[in-house]
Amino acid sequence: MAEAKRLAGEATGPLAGIRILDLTSVVNGAYGTQLLADQGADVIKLEDPGSNRGDGGDIMRWAGHVPEGAPRDLGPIFLTINRNKRSIVLDMKQESAKRAVRRLIKSCDVFAASVRYEGLKRLGLAYEDVAAIRPDIVYVHAAGYGSDGPYAGEPAYDDLIQSASGCADVLPRTDGNPTPRILPTLVADKVSGLFLSQAVTAALLHRARTGEGQFVEVPMLECVTSFLLVEHMYDQTYDPPTGQWGYTRVVNPNRKPFKTKDGYIGLLPYTDKQWDQFFEAAGMGETIARDPRFSDYFTRMKHISELYGLVEQAAATKTTQEWLDVLKPLSIPVVKTNRLDDLPEDPHLKAVEFFQTFQHPELGRYVAMRPPVKFSKTPANIRRHPPRLGEHTAEVLAEVSEGEEA
């Protein structure tokens, strides 16, 4: 069993000294604010007490199966996207809570929320309200849909955004089954969280240069559609279009891990030379060299499905390790295909200490993923366990005294 790592003592990331009042929840906003917290920001997660039936705060607290005897408010997904934050619980129906939030806003550089904007208005937390307290605030709203469109204000979840953005049409274009299908990962939430974190840092840079705060809207539908169509607008990029939606090489049923004698490999020869070397190693060099369908890049792309079919035949002639031994010295892109269960033992992930074990004082041992981006001068770190619901209420409110009322 891996030795539990110690938490870092202080923030060393590039956002150290930045304070964020975080009214996001579930995955989208919470993932984005954790990235900022890992990079040094002091993220104060404002949560609601709920109905006093043990269901308060971020709903992700309660998803999943905690170990026997562990606190129920530290569910597995919550753990992965809420470290390095402090949790406070305030009932925003109470005037005392509203006063406390106004004091907090005055001390913050960023206000981030995923509550629907009409709800923020009702709470007195619209951009104009917050900017009246802290004029240079960076106010970031994680919306479902842009405020200028007819869907503005409607509820949005990953399933809905995948459906609306075109994500659910990718698999049908790949395998011919016309039924739209949702990708089995929270791609819309996580992509939107990445957009949110980037938007915050860009707005903070603008404020550092000019002294100006601003309102920043991060709409899920627009973010995810732009992410998807980087490659899948394809020949529809032109006016008039020159061909189909969907990047041909990618919407290809034969684009997949290839079965070897004892497992699977991910494989992508890219240049003419690499294709020749791969098929030579598979004993098919002469056959491919004589085939006009694969003579150059453009003809290969027209026949990419057939080409990948031949790769599938070739891959089955060697073991995974044999392919790695043959192809890596040739610099042909190849990896062993990991199952989820394989990831903790992957040699690269082990070498970079990607999975790290920590000891929570109430939960016990848990596994966290190391912040993936490496800063040579201002390293991100893990310095706080994911917080219990309301764990830091007294601590945070003590930092903003009544005398600082806005």
What's the confidence (pLDDT) of residue 349?
A: 97
**CA angle 283–286–288, rounded 5-degree value:** 90
Q: Per this entry, what is the length of the chain?
A: 406
CB atoms within 10 A of CB 145: 21
Grouping H, G, I as helix, E, B as strand and the rest as coil, residue 271 is coil
Distance CA 167, CA 225 (A): 8
Taking the domains of the chain in order of start, what are their residue ranges? 19-228+354-404, 258-336
| Architecture, CATH, for domain 19-228+354-404 | 3-Layer(aba) Sandwich (3.40)
Residue 57 contacts residue 87 (beta carbons within 8 Å): yes
pLDDT of residue 51: 61
Digits of tens for pLDDT over the chain (406 positions)? 678 999 999 999 999 999 999 999 999 999 999 999 999 999 999 999 986 555 799 999 999 999 999 999 999 999 999 999 999 999 999 999 999 999 999 999 999 999 999 999 999 999 999 999 999 999 999 999 999 999 999 999 999 999 999 999 999 999 999 999 999 999 999 999 999 999 999 999 999 999 999 999 999 999 999 999 999 999 999 999 999 999 998 998 889 999 999 999 999 988 888 988 998 998 888 877 778 887 777 887 788 888 888 899 999 999 999 999 999 999 999 999 999 999 999 999 999 999 999 999 999 999 999 999 999 999 999 999 999 999 999 999 999 976 555 4
Contact assessment for residue 389 and residue 74, using Cβ atoms and an 8 Å cutoff: no
DSSP assignments along 348-379, one per residue? HHHHTT-EEEEEETTTEEEEEEPP-S--SSS-
Any alpha helices (H) in 211-236, and if so which ranges?
Answer: 220-232
Q: Which pLDDT belongs to residue 53?
A: 55
Structural contact between residues 27 and 77, judged by C-beta atoms closer than 8 angstroms: yes
Specify the CATH number of the domain 258-336: 3.30.1540.10
Alpha carbons 47 and 58: distance in angstroms, whole number: 7
**Torsion angle defined by CA atoms of residues 96, 97, 100 and 102, in that order, rounded to the nearest 10 degrees:** -110
pLDDT at residue number 300: 77
- The pLDDT score that the predictor gives to residue 403 is 55
142, with CB counted inside 10 A (0-12, 13-18, 19+), is buried
Are 83 and 31 in contact by the 8 Å Cβ rule? The answer is no
